[in-house]
Structure 1
């Protein structure tokens, strides 16, 4: 009987303690919560929502960074290949605009003025045996059409946009450079194709030979060509972004 009474009192005390705990009762006599008005409650809700958004953004950003790190780790070899391809492409562009030393098979076209005799020939006959700027321009154009990938006149590298003018006994170029006869024109490309194109009937080189200028064509296995000394910076041309 005594044991039953003791158990009963303990049971009642346990229930009372549970009720106090569920009511958030502070044994020091002070309530642990405060009553919020409508404005404070709304601010608290908004602050909680903002915190949830910040946490979500941080999680999303963290996931993106993890994905980037994973891609970098998995694609190192691929990225190296892309970088190598870009370097090769830049090198090709530099070769195209004449900024690099280049070498390869091709021909050496040597042109010099013909032998003249001022006592026996008139002015027109003498001029006909001289190489003029329009002659050089036509020869350079024939080499380009025949497939020459790089051209130089003596030590002057010819660019795709190079122009040539007559300057007394010299041939001048648009960048201020000048060369004098005899002119050794180096052309890198298919040697046989270049030579055949220059010796075709109707070619300008053939016309020079008929005009009795000195012309010699030599096929060579290797030509080493210096880079241009001209400024190849583009001032006015820009990429058209409207068509991709």
Structure 2
């Protein structure tokens, strides 16, 4: 009787073990595979494609860097090439950060306050015909978005960290310099693209025209901009180490 009972328990245990094995059960509590739904599978495929693209780009970039390094280390005469390349990079950085005088094709956006009559118009109507610091900021942003590579307001070179505030009848910038109306906003870039962007429906320049400010746009084959007078010293930020 006892043997029959033991046999029965072993039989039941064997059935349970077989069922667990057939369900791919992992006794450590982890399944050896995971069933993905359609969305998860599509996301996995897209992620894999992105990873393949990133790897290909890294390989290409690594190849270019290795080739450049080999060119530099072939012989001692390459040291002069290294110095020239560094100077060229510094010059490029100077153009983008505004520390160098630049020139190129672009547009000249002329903006002036509209004609007002304080005796006949209400204060709100008068104020709407004036260019404010918020208007200037929005116009500069539209030019940047449209692809302007360099911008200046009258004789003030606008740099990425430039800020503008109202100072009575002037627009004052972050370095304390002030510019007064009429404002000639110079933008170096593709003239047709810049002009089309700032004149499209919904643009802030269009709104200024509706508010009856004076707006004129001219294309120019050669615009010359002075270097910035803003402080370019970096005090608080530094290059981040990707693997840190």
* 2:159 corresponds to: 159
| Corresponding residue pairs, total | 174
Please give the secondary structure, in 2, of the residue aligned with 1:179: strand
* 1:127 corresponds to: 127
Give the alignment's Cα RMSD to 1 decimal: 1.7
What is the CA distance between 1:242 and its match in structure 2? 4.1
Aligned pairs for 1:93-132 within 5 A: 93-132=93-132
Separation in 1, partners of 2:131, 2:72: 61
Please give the secondary structure, in 2, of the residue aligned with 1:222: strand
Pair 1:192–1:237, CA change in 2 (3 A): same
What is the CA distance between 1:84 and its match in structure 2? 1.4
Separation in 2, partners of 1:243, 1:112: 51
For 1:103-146, what per-residue CA distance to the aligned partner results, in whole angstroms no more than 9, with x for missing partners?
Answer: 00000000000000111100000000000000000000000000
TM-score normalized by structure 2?
0.69
For 1:132-165, what per-residue CA distance to the aligned partner results, in whole angstroms no more than 9, with x for missing partners?
Answer: 0000000000000000000000000000111110
* 1:34 corresponds to: none
* 1:220 corresponds to: 220
* 1:150 corresponds to: 150
What is the CA distance between 1:230 and its match in structure 2? 1.3
For 1:63-100, what per-residue CA distance to the aligned partner results, in whole angstroms no more than 9, with x for missing partners?
Answer: xxxxxxxx999523432222211111001111111110
TM-score normalized by structure 1?
0.69
- Structure 2 residues without counterparts, runs of 5 or longer: 1-70
- Structure 1 residues without counterparts, runs of 5 or longer: 1-70
230-239 vs 214-223, which deviates more?
230-239
- Conserved in 1, the CA contact under 8 Å of 2:72 and 2:78? no
Pair 1:123–1:72, CA change in 2 (3 A): closer
* 1:204 corresponds to: 204
* 2:243 corresponds to: 243
Pair 1:129–1:72, CA change in 2 (3 A): closer
